């Protein structure tokens, strides 16, 4: 019987995402694919994507298409704009004064941070800057080529991946019965902030729906 992806499964997969109308690649996971497509970037971190199906970690259309797929197989599918990054909202295109940009001069196509929100500069003219707060892929249908690599089934493996890929930690994980012990540091080797252990344990339990399993963070001994 084929092993297929279901709600709650953690899977690892490679993908190439393109804009349907132009064929332009907007994201991919594989270094080999990047080199083949002539868009490899030195220093760019490549590697399979990981997600838990049904937890909203991916755009709706991609997540929906991954459910029911088989390990080891490759698939091509389309995702509508509505199930990707939504339709464009004209109200999210706004004018502002050029004088607000004191540290640099904005140019069309540049992405800028405005009060913690990312916007794309559409035009600069007459002392005015047109900012587009829509997602750059809003209003666009997408196409994906996906290869399902594996399903992560063991609990310690799942938690290690969550710590390292999603929480940015270096972690040692040991699962014994209904208790999981996690020894973790930040990516730069520092101890976790006071009170972070309980919060992180709660996030992991919620993501993996571990109702009867205890998750405990311990300090890594120097």
Say yes or no: 69 and 148 in one domain. yes
Tell me how many domains the chain contains. 3
Tell whether 166 and 185 lie within a shared domain.
Answer: yes
Instruction: Give the start-end residues of each E strand in 63-116.
Output: 74-79, 93-97, 111-114
Range of the domain at 103: 90-132
Q: Which of 177, 188, 186, 187 is nearest to 216 (CA)?
A: 177
Residue 39 in domain: yes
Listed in sequence order, the residues at least 6 apart from 61 whose beta carbon sits closer than 8 Å to its beta carbon are 79, 80, 83, 84, 142
| 162: confidence class by pLDDT, cuts 50, 70, 90 | very high
The pair of structure tokens assigned to 71 is 């390990």
Confidence of residue 140 (pLDDT cuts 50, 70, 90): very high
- Are residue 97 and residue 167 in the same domain, yes or no? no
Does 136 have pLDDT greater than 80? yes
Q: Are residues 41 and 143 in the same domain?
A: yes
Q: Residue 5: inside a domain, yes or no?
A: no
Q: Indicate if the pLDDT at residue 103 is higher than 90.
A: no
Assess whether 145 and 43 both reside in one domain: yes
pLDDT band, residue 194 (cuts 50/70/90): confident
The pLDDT-based confidence of 221 (bands split at 50, 70, 90) is low
Mean pLDDT of 23-51: 95
Residue 67 lies in a domain: yes
The CATH number that applies at residue 98 is 2.40.10.330
Residue 102 is predicted with a pLDDT of 87
Q: In the prediction, which pLDDT does 15 show?
A: 97
Query: How are beta strands 74-79 and 111-114 bridged, if at all?
Result: unpaired
Distances (CA, A) of 121 to 112, 126, 137, 210: 7, 14, 14, 44
> Based on the domain organization, do 146 and 122 belong to the same domain?
no
Span 49-70, pLDDT tens digits: 999 999 999 999 999 999 999 9
How many residues in total does the chain contain?
Answer: 222
Which CATH number belongs to the domain containing residue 175 in this structure? 3.30.300
> What secondary structure letter does DSSP report for 106?
-
My answer on whether 65 and 171 are in the same domain is: no
d(CA 131, CA 116): 14
Closest listed residue to residue 210, CA positions, set 165, 168, 178: 178
């Amino acid at each position: 019987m084929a092993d297929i992806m279901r709600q709650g499964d953690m899977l690892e997969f490679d993908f190439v995402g393109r804009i349907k109308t132009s064929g332009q690649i907007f994201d991919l996971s594989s270094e080999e694919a990047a080199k083949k497509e002539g868009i490899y970037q030195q220093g760019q971190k490549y590697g399979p994507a990981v997600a838990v199906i049904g937890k909203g970690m991916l755009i709706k259309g991609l997540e929906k298409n991954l459910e029911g797929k088989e390990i080891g197989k490759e698939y091509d599918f389309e995702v509508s704009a509505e199930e990707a990054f939504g339709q464009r909202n004209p109200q999210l295109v706004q004018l502002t004064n050029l004088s607000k940009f004191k540290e640099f001069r904005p140019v069309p196509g540049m992405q800028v941070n405005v009060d913690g929100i990312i916007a794309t500069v559409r035009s600069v003219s007459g002392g005015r800057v047109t900012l587009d707060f829509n997602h750059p892929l809003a209003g666009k249908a997408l196409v994906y080529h996906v290869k399902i690599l594996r399903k992560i089934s063991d609990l310690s493996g799942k938690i290690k991946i969550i710590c390292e890929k999603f929480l940015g930690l270096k972690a040692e994980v040991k699962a014994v019965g209904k208790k999981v012990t996690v020894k973790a540091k930040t990516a730069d080797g520092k101890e976790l902030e006071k009170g972070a252990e309980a919060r992180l344990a709660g996030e992991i339990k919620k993501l993996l729906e571990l109702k009867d399993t205890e998750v405990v963070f311990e300090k890594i001994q120097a």
